[in-house]
Structure 1
Amino acid sequence: MYRRTFILSAPLAGLAACSAEPVWAPDQKVALATVPQVGPASLTLYTMKNNGSGNGAHTGLMINASQRVLWDPAGTFKADALPERNDVIYGVTPYVEELYASFHARTTYHVIGQKIVVPQATAEMALQAVKTYGAVPKANCTRATSAILQGLPGFGSIGRTYFPNNLFDDFAELPGVQTFEIRENDADDKSGAGAAINELLSET
Structure 2
Amino acid sequence: MNRRQFLIGTPFVLSACTAREVWAPDTLVSQYIYREEGPKYLTLYTMKNVGSDNGAHSALLINASQRVIFDPAGSWEQEQMPERNDVLFGVSPRLESYHVSFHARVTYYVVGQRIPVAPDVAEQALNLSLAAGPAPQGSCSRFTSRLLRQLPGFESIGQTWFPNNLSDNFETLLGVETREYRETDADDKDIAARAIEAELSMRQ
2:103–2:109: 8 Å Cα contact kept in structure 1? yes
Count of residues paired in the alignment = 200
Q: What are the ranges of 5 or more consecutive residues in structure 1 without an aligned counterpart?
A: none
Question: RMSD of aligned C-alpha atoms?
Answer: 1.4
1:107–1:187: 8 Å Cα contact kept in structure 2? yes
Tell me the distance in 2 between the aligned counterparts of 1:38 and 1:7.
25
2:47–2:57: 8 Å Cα contact kept in structure 1? yes
**Structure 1's 66 and 17: CA in aligned 2 closer, same or farther, altered over 3 A?**
closer
Q: Which amino acid aligns with 1:32?
A: Q
Tell me the distance in 2 between the aligned counterparts of 1:17 and 1:97.
16
2:10–2:176: 8 Å Cα contact kept in structure 1? yes
What pairs up with 1:1-204 in 2 under 5 angstroms?
1=1, 3-11=2-10, 18-19=17-18, 21-203=20-202, 204=204
Tell me the distance in 1 between the aligned counterparts of 2:118 and 2:175.
13
Q: Alignment identity in percent?
A: 52
Tell me the distance in 1 between the aligned counterparts of 2:148 and 2:110.
20
**Which runs of at least 4 in structure 1 moved beyond 4 Å after TM superposition?**
none
Q: Which amino acid aligns with 1:187?
A: A
Q: Which amino acid aligns with 1:145?
A: T
Tell me the distance in 2 between the aligned counterparts of 1:191 and 1:20.
20
Classify the secondary structure of the residue corresponding to 1:175.
coil
1:38–1:64: 8 Å Cα contact kept in structure 2? no
1:80–1:198: 8 Å Cα contact kept in structure 2? no
Q: What are the ranges of 5 or more consecutive residues in structure 2 without an aligned counterpart?
A: none
Tell me the distance in 1 between the aligned counterparts of 2:179 and 2:55.
16
Q: Which amino acid aligns with 1:66?
A: S
What is the CA deviation profile of residues 155-202 of structure 1, one whole-angstrom value per residue up to 9, with x for unaligned ones?
Answer: 000000000000000000000000000000011110011112223233
**Structure 1's 115 and 188: CA in aligned 2 closer, same or farther, altered over 3 A?**
same
Q: Which amino acid aligns with 1:36?
A: R
**Structure 1's 68 and 175: CA in aligned 2 closer, same or farther, altered over 3 A?**
same
Query: TM-score with structure 2 length normalisation?
Result: 0.94
Classify the secondary structure of the residue corresponding to 1:5.
strand
1:20–1:75: 8 Å Cα contact kept in structure 2? no
Query: TM-score with structure 1 length normalisation?
Result: 0.94
Tell me the distance in 1 between the aligned counterparts of 2:105 and 2:19.
20
Deviation at 1:82, TM superposition (A): 1.8
Deviation at 1:10, TM superposition (A): 2.8
Deviation at 1:17, TM superposition (A): 5.3
2:16–2:74: 8 Å Cα contact kept in structure 1? no
Deviation at 1:116, TM superposition (A): 0.4
1:35–1:90: 8 Å Cα contact kept in structure 2? yes
Deviation at 1:38, TM superposition (A): 3.9
Tell me the distance in 2 between the aligned counterparts of 1:23 and 1:38.
29
